[in-house]
Structure 1
Amino acid sequence: MPISRIAFGSLAEAGQPDALKAGLAEFISMLIFVFAGEGSGMAFGKLTGGGPASPAGLIAAAIAHAFALFVAVSVGANISGGHETSAFALSAGVGEWNAVVFEIVMTFGLVYTVYATAVDPKKGDLGTIAPIAIGFIVGANILAGGAFDGASMNPAVSFGPAVVSWTWSSHWVYWLGPFAGAGIAALVYEIFFMAPSTHEQLPVHDY
C-alpha cells in the first residue's frame, strides 16, 4: 500500500468479522513460515549432532525460508494481505553497526520487491508471481547475510525467539536495521516509481 494511503483504522473495526479473519489468516501464515524456517535449523542440528553452522546448513535454511514464505504469502494474500516475513545473533568479528547495514540492505531489497510485485498498481500480471518473488528474495538474503547476523529483515521474526530464549544481546540491531531499510525502500519506490495518479483509493466501509 502506498505510504500516502496507509489507514490505521479504529478499535471498533478490530472486532469486525473481516478483521478477525485477517488476524487468523496472518497467524496461520506466520505459523507456516516460522515452523518451516526454524524447523530447518532444528533438523540440521539433529542431523549433525548439534554441529556448528556450515554452508550446507545455510543453504538449507535459505531454501526452507524461501519456500515457506512463498506458501505463507500465497495462502494469506486473499484474506489478510500476507504480511509475514531461532535467536538471532552476530557472528564473531561482525560489529553491531555492520549488522545494522546488513539489515538495512536486506530489508530494502525485500520491501522493494514487495512494492514492485505486489503493491504497485502498475504491476499487471507480475502480481501473480509476487509470493514466489518475495520468497526468493528472502532466501537470497539469508544466503548473503545469514552467516553474519542471521538475516532477520523483520523485527517480529527476531523478537519472538528473543523472548522465548531471553536473549537480548544486540537486539536493537534487528529493529533499527529493518525499520530503516523498509522506510528507505518505501520512500524510494513511492517517490521515484509510483506516480500519484496510480494510487488506488481505499474502499470506504460504513461500520
Structure 2
Amino acid sequence: MTKQEFAFGRFDDSFSASSIKAYVAEFISTLLFVFAGVGSAIAYGKLTTDAALDPAGLVAVAVAHGLALFVAVSIAANISGGHFNPAVTFGLVVGGQITVLSGIFYWIAQLIGSTVASFLLSYVTGGLAVPIHAVGAGVGAIQGVVFEIIITFGLVYTFSGGSMNPARSFGPAVASGDFSGHWIYWVGPLIGGGLAGAIYSNVFISSEHAPLSSEF
C-alpha cells in the first residue's frame, strides 16, 4: 500500500463501461447546471429594464445556480463523483484521486455539456444574447485571477459544490463568440483547484491506498 500518487492512467480503464457512464453523467449534469444557471441570468437581463443592479434579481440568479448545483450533484454523485467543473476535476487529479487520462475525458464531457446548454439557450430564447463572465468595472485582470483562485480553492478544498467553474464560463463564451478575458476563468480556478487538491491530499489525508495505475 502506498500513498496517493499523481498518475496518467490506462486507456482500458478510461474507456471501461463505468468510465463511459461517468463521462455521460458529467455531460448531463454540466448541461443542466449551465442551462439553469445561464438561463436564470438571461431571464434576469430580460426582466431588468434599467441599468441599476437589482439585489433581489441577483439573489434569484444565485438561488437558481444553487438549486441547479444540487440537482446536478444529485444526478452524478454516485456515478462520476459529481464534478461538472474542470477546476474540481483538476484538483482531484493533482490530489491523486483520479488519473490524468480520466480527468481529460471529464473535461471534454464538461465542456461539451456547457457548450450544448448555451446553444440550446440561444435557440429556445429566440436568439437572446448568452451572457458571459467578465470582471466588474474597476477590477483588473490580475485581481480577477486572484479572486478566482481564492474562491475556487474554497470550493475544491471542501469539495462542495465569480465563476469558480471554467465550464460554466466556456459554453457561454463559445455560444456568444466572445472570449475576451476568458483566460481569467481558467487560470484562477485551475490554480485554486490544484492547490486545494494538493494540500488536502498531501497534508490532511493520512490514509493510504493502492496506487493509481500509471500504465498505458
Provide the TM-score with structure 1 as the length reference.
0.71
Amino acid at match of 1:47: L
Match of 1:70 in 2: 70
SS at match of 2:4: helix
Cross-structure match for 2:169 = 158
For structure 2, the 5+ residue unaligned runs are 86-130
Alignment CA distance shift 1:11-1:38 (3 Å)? same
State the SS of the aligned residue for 1:4: coil
Establish whether residue 94 from structure 1 lines up as the match of residue 139 from structure 2: yes
Structure 1: which 5+ runs fail to align? 115-133, 136-150
- Aligned residues of 2:25 and 2:79 also touching (Cα < 8 A): yes
C-alpha change, 1:6 and 1:57, in structure 2 (3 Å) is: farther
Task: State the superposition RMSD in angstroms.
Answer: 2.3
The correspondence of residues 12-161 of structure 1 with structure 2, limited to 5 A, is 12-49=12-49, 53-85=53-85, 86-114=131-159, 134-135=160-161, 151-161=162-172
Give the Cα separation in 2 of the matches to 1:200 and 1:68: 34
Query: How far apart are the structure 2 equivalents of 1:185 and 1:15?
Result: 28
Distance (Å, rounded) in 1 between the aligned partners of 2:212 and 2:188: 33
Higher relative contact order (CA 8 A, sep 6+): 2
> Compared with structure 1, are the counterparts of its residues 9 and 50 closer, same or farther at alpha carbon in structure 2 (3 Å cutoff)?
farther
Aligned identity (percent) is: 52
Distance across 2 between alignment mates of 1:200 and 1:74: 27
Runs of 4+ that moved beyond 6 A: none
SS across alignment from 2:62: helix
Q: Does residue 1:201 correspond to 2:202, yes or no?
A: no
Q: Aligned pairs, how many?
A: 166
1:188 positional shift: 2.1
Aligned to 2:191: 180
Whichever residue aligns with residue 139 of structure 2, its letter is V
Give the distance between the partners of 2:22 and 2:186, measured in 1 at CA.
24
Partner of 2:82: helix, strand, or coil? coil
The alpha-carbon deviation at position 51 of structure 1 amounts to 5.2
- Give the stretch that moved more between structures: 104-113 or 83-92: 83-92
> Following TM superposition, by how much is the alpha carbon of 1:9 offset from its aligned partner in structure 2, in angstroms?
3.1
Greater CA drift, 12-21 or 74-83:
12-21
